Chains A and B, each alone.
Chain A
Amino acid sequence: MDDLLADFIAETREMLEASGGELVAWEADPADRARLDTIFRFVHTVKGNCGFFDFPRLASLSHAAEDALADCRAGRREPDQQLVTAVLAIIDRIALMIDAIEAGDEFPEGGDESLIAAVDASHETVPSASLTESKEGSNPPLHAPADALLGTGEEQAAPYRRADAAAAQRTIRLPVELLDRVMSGVSDMVLARNDLAHRLRQAGNQPTIDGPFERLTTILSDVRDAITRMRMQRIETLFGALPRLVRDLSAELGKQVMVDLDGGDVELDREMIETIRDPLTHLIRNAVDHGIEQPSARLAHGKREIGLLAIAARQSGNTISIAISDDGRGLDEDRIAAKAIATGLITASERQTMSRDKILNLIFEPGFSTAETVSNVSGRGVGLDVVRQNLEKVGGSIKVTSVPGQGTLFSLQIPLTLSIIAGLTVDVGGHRFAIPQSYVEEIVQASARALDFTRMGETALVTFRGNRVPCLMLGEVLGLNTCEIAAREPTLVMLRLASGDLFALAVEGIHNHGDLVVKPLAPAVMRSGLYAGSTLLDDGQPVLLLDVANIASQHNLMSDTRVRAIGPLESEAVVTAELPRAMLFTDFAGRRSAVRLELVQRIETAPASAIDRSAARPRVVIDGLILPLIGLPEDALALPRMRLLRLSDGACELLYAVREVEDAVELKDTLHPVPEDALAEAMTLIGGQPVTLIDAHALFALHGEPPLAAARPRCVLPDGEWARTILAPLVASAGYDILPEGTADPAAIGIVFDDVFEVAEALGRALPARVIRLRDQPDAPPGCETIYRYDREGLLAALAEVNRAARAEGEAA
């Protein structure tokens, strides 16, 4: 019985959510039979079910609504505003009663009669001319006492409900815990797989196992995707209630608003849906209350009487953007500014330098509310600052743009899910932490001097793109012992908070980035306010996820004063962004040079061991690519690793070794051509110092070459068991790829037995260009270039020799 009751409650709820939107849609278009049918079915089902469960009050309410709707269906009655309102009131009451039933409370007595009367009354007392003819045919519904109705209701409804359930129910209800359990089971499987993969790699190539293992990997990632999707819900569930909300609001305020919903099929984590429900509701209230004007005002401005409120959801990668736009009066920049000055958010002089956008976004500041009179609809003590806060809590953000007289657009960005985020793992003091990628603006690696690292009292500042930015030492924040060397050359993670504040977090190294499955932490750990959760790396090591927003606010980096300090600089940067920019660096000759920023793909840090100087032109291996390297000093390198600028012209890449990367600068001064230096485009002044601007054209003409995959040299082995089992492992471990038998590759090195070689030569068969000949006897016949097949050293030396010759030839070509 309890199960049945729970089913009844859940089903009724589901239908309630769906029918809210339907009702409003139906009111807008009374001829829409499909909507009317849906609502009718709802009240009918409720009536039937509650008779079954002995809820006489629910039964009488739903019966009244059903009667009225039945009249409409039969064409005896024209649905009008009053009827819709009355039916909605009944549906609301049903929702409340359902809540009470679930909680096991007694629903307060009384009030039902007036609701029932309202459905009737609206029908009888509306003296609308348009309704007269339809009224003539209609009789006032005969309301028997609720008790008397019970019996009939039950009998009619029961079979009806079964049919509905069978047709509509293509879903099953599952407890979320079960999903979570399956999800964590799959996560366990992924970890077990990673462990297995690690062991398989150690054991070497095993074709019989590798195939099935690959398949397992594919299946597992499919299952993981599916499980993740199971937690997803269409945003429709949220959108479903909105038409009703807007209808009620606009009726209350005497406005006319049309809702346009788009993107209801976008899916996101059900927890996230709950999180954005309130912010979204608040924004819609605001739009209807403050944004859309009274119909008369709209007509006076030459707009349509009916205001339009468009809500659209879009998914892009890992984020969902929701746009809420109205075609109302728009935000009043001056009023917002005046209010902000009055409340002390900004000063009058600051206001002069602020862009319209900046001013508009002040409405999200704490303690800001533009409505002079706190109306019933919006402004219930909850401001837009709370909306922003709530969104930021889940890693989202909100912006507003507005055109006066034409409308306002709020755009929300929210992550797809709370549990899987893109993150960056960083090292500090031997510990590893994760940072949500969404905060990371840029990663800067430079010496403390280049960053102009200064301490102002306890606060550290760095100069980043010409702005002074506060800098937190992660080691200090966490109270860890950090090593001195790393402090002199820190890696800075520039973090942009959702409020727009920028700050730098100094860490010792960047480890990795990827998708992190975030799990909550124990409350005692959360209390430290530094961590947002924990996650497991691929190797199963647990890592803590830093709570960036909280760390920033603990260090007072998120106050609104900061926003303003950085604000004007930012807009300045926008204005000057049109100047060409260049990367300023000092090369190994000690010359300060610059290269146009568009060319710089990345700043690489390569160990000295990755650099190959054997050929005339040095090469370096980065990400498995062999790239030309220029700018190296003549003498041997003293540095264990060096900074390389990775330059690209789109097709070719080359690396420029530099002693120190300083910063990205703007080329403000005039460029003086230097015809005597072929590699210099011009000389210019940066900060009063002469700097050589590198001529990219000349550089790529001289040194550019498309990247070569650093493929291992290939080798063809003789046929036979001996070669496969004894020779192949030796050759492979020496760093050669072994080609399958029978493949012809002119670049490969061939290892053949001498007798085979002689036969082939005699018959004129094709042989690889470079051949190593093996003989069976330890003692070599005189004048024969063969190697005894168990002469390990000799064989490896021959391989290296041939490989070197092949490379030299390749380069010469």
Chain B
Amino acid sequence: MTGDLLVIAQIAGRRCALSALDVKSVIEIGTITPIPRAPVWIAGITALRSQALTVIDCRRALGFGGGSDGNDWPTDHRAAVVADGGHSYALMVDSIEDITTAADEAGQVPGGFGPEWSRVATGMVETMAGPALMLDLAALLAGPEAARHEIEAAV
């Protein structure tokens, strides 16, 4: 909504916006303990004081990466800490850019955002820093499998 504070971050080379209300803090990410047999988009867990955060690789959570293009973008050493459903997550993004205010409502663009982005994006939002894709946190945290299930269900 107009005037809402947004955290602007680059994910997979695109400018994305998260509601600042969702973002609890931005942390320097420390050692990540990997979780064997967990989905690839979960990079592991890391400790934030006495709390364990699940680290989400946002690129992979969107369904990008894997294969050769996995290292195309550098990742920021900072991560956004968000909470959903009583669990805390650290979002690994390309970079965290700014905190700014939204200039209008999230709206659609002709032609859509592409399949990966449509699943997690609520729309495009104009900000002081330029246009950004407004992300739906719950959809992002559901991981790329969620999309596949939807497609399977539709078929």
Interface residues in chain A, defined as those with a beta carbon under 8 Å from any beta carbon in chain B? 184, 187-188, 190-192, 431-432, 478-480, 517, 519-525, 528, 530-531, 534-536, 540-544
Contact A187 B36 (CB under 8 A): no
A-B contact pairs, 12 of them (CB 8 A): A187-B50, A190-B50, A478-B36, A480-B36, A519-B52, A520-B86, A521-B45, A522-B141, A523-B87, A524-B54, A525-B38, A542-B33
B58 at the interface (CB under 8 A from A): no
Residues of B within 8 A of A523 (CB): 85, 87
A533 to B, closest residue via Cβ: B52
Residue of chain A at shortest CB distance from B32: A542
User: How distant is A481 from chain B, measured CB to nearest CB, in Å?
Assistant: 10
Assuming the A-B contacts A520-B87, A522-B54, A522-B89, are A542 and B37 also in contact, with contact meaning beta carbons closer than 8 angstroms in the complex? no
Please tell me if B107 contacts chain A, counting CB pairs below 8 Å.
no
Please tell me if B42 contacts chain A, counting CB pairs below 8 Å. yes
Contacts known (A521-B54, A524-B39); A191 close to B49, Cβ less than 8 A: yes
Contact A542 B45 (CB under 8 A): yes
* Most chain B beta-carbon neighbours within 10 Å: one of A520, A521, A524, A531: A524
Most buried by A among B42, B50, B51: B50
Contact A542 B34 (CB under 8 A): no
Q: Which residues of B contact A519 (CB under 8 A)?
A: 51-52
Within the assembled complex, what's the spacing in Å between the Cα atoms of A479 and B39? Answer: 13
Known: A523-B85, A542-B47. A528 touches B52 (CB 8 A): no
Please tell me if the beta carbons of B31 and A431 are within 8 angstroms of each other in the complex.
Answer: no
Task: Please tell me which one of the listed residues A191, A431, A540 contacts residue B34 in the complex, with CB atoms under 8 A apart.
Answer: A431
Within 8 A of A (CB), among B36-89: 36-39, 42, 45-47, 49-52, 54, 85-87, 89
Q: How many A-B residue pairs have CB under 8 A?
A: 74
B35 within 8 Å of A by Cβ?
yes
Nearest chain B CB to A182 CB, angstrom units: 12
The CA of A521 and the CA of B87, in the complex, are separated in Å by 7
User: Is B143 in contact with chain A by the CB < 8 A criterion?
Assistant: yes
A543 to chain B, nearest CB (A): 7
Once the chains bind, are A542 and B46 in contact (CB under 8 Å)?
Answer: yes
- A525 to B33 alpha-carbon distance, docked (Å): 13
- The answer to whether B87 and A544 touch across the interface, beta carbons within 8 angstroms, is no
CB-based closest 9 A-B pairs: A187-B50, A478-B36, A522-B54, A534-B52, A188-B49, A188-B50, A522-B87, A542-B52, A542-B45
- Given contacts A431-B34, A544-B33, whether A524 and B42 have CB atoms under 8 Å apart is yes
The CA-CA distance from A525 to B38 in the complex, in Å, is: 6
A523–B142 Cα distance when bound, in Å, is 9
Please determine whether A525 and B35 come into contact, CB atoms closer than 8 angstroms. Answer: yes
Min C-beta distance of B137 to chain A, whole Å: 13
Q: How far is the CA of A187 from the CA of B50 in the complex (A)?
A: 6
Asked if B37 contacts A541 (CB within 8 A), the reply is no
Partner of A530, one of B31, B37, B51: B37
Given the complex of chains A and B, what is the CA–CA distance between A130 and B136 in angstroms?
73
Q: Which residues of A contact B143 (CB under 8 A)?
A: 524
B142 to chain A: which residues have CB within 8 Å? Answer: 524
- Bound together, the chains give a CA A534 to CA B53 distance in angstroms of 10
Residues of A within 8 Å of B36, CB to CB, are 431, 478-480, 530
Q: Taking the nearest CB of chain B, how far is it from the CB of A435, in angstroms? A: 15
Contacts of A530 in B (CB 8 A): 36-37
Task: Tell me the minimal C-beta distance from B67 to chain A in angstroms.
Answer: 19
- The reply to whether A544 and B50 contact each other, CB–CB distance below 8 Å, is no
Nearest CB of chain A from residue B22's CB, rounded to whole Å:
15
| B47 surroundings in chain A (CB, below 8 A) | 536, 540-542
Contacts of A432 in B (CB 8 A): 33
Min CB gap B90→A, angstroms: 11
Specify the chain A residue showing the minimal Cβ separation from B45: A542
- Beyond A524-B42, A530-B37, whether A536 also contacts B52 by CB under 8 A is yes
Complex contact B87–A479 (CB within 8 A):
no
**Contact, CB under 8 Å: B50 / A184:** yes
Knowing A523-B87, A542-B45, A544-B45, say if A528 contacts B50 (CB, 8 Å): no
Chain B min CB distance to A613 (Å): 41
Contact partner, B54, options A184, A479, A525, A528, Cβ 8 Å:
A525
The answer for the CA separation of A6 and B38 in the assembled complex, in Å, is 43
A525 CA / B37 CA spacing, docked (Å) = 9
Distance of A178 from chain B, by nearest CB (Å): 15
Give the residue of A191, A480, A520 whose beta carbon is less than 8 angstroms from that of B50: A191
What B residues does A542 contact at CB under 8 A?
Answer: 33, 45-47, 52
Report A450 CB to chain B, min CB distance, Å.
Answer: 29
Q: Is the CB of A544 within 8 A of B35?
A: yes
Residues from chain B with a CB closer than 8 A to the CB of A534 are 45, 52
- Bound-complex Cα distance A190 to B49 (A): 10
Check B50–A536 contact: CB distance below 8 A: yes
* 13 new A-B contacts at CB < 8 Å, known A525-B35, A528-B38, A544-B33: A184-B50, A188-B49, A191-B50, A431-B36, A478-B37, A480-B36, A519-B51, A522-B42, A524-B39, A531-B35, A535-B52, A536-B52, A542-B52
Report yes or no: A184 in contact with B51, Cβ–Cβ below 8 A: yes
Question: B61: nearest residue on chain A (CB-CB)?
Answer: A524
B139 to nearest A CB, angstroms? 13
CB contacts (< 8 Å) of A188 on chain B: these are 49-51
Closest to A187 in B: B50
Central interface residue in B33, B36, B37, B39, by most chain A CB within 10 Å:
B36
Q: Which residue of B lies closest to A544 (CB)?
A: B35
Nearest Cβ in chain A — how far from B131, in angstroms? 30
Residues of B within 8 A of A184 (CB): 50-51
- Bound Cα distance from A541 to B30, whole angstroms: 10
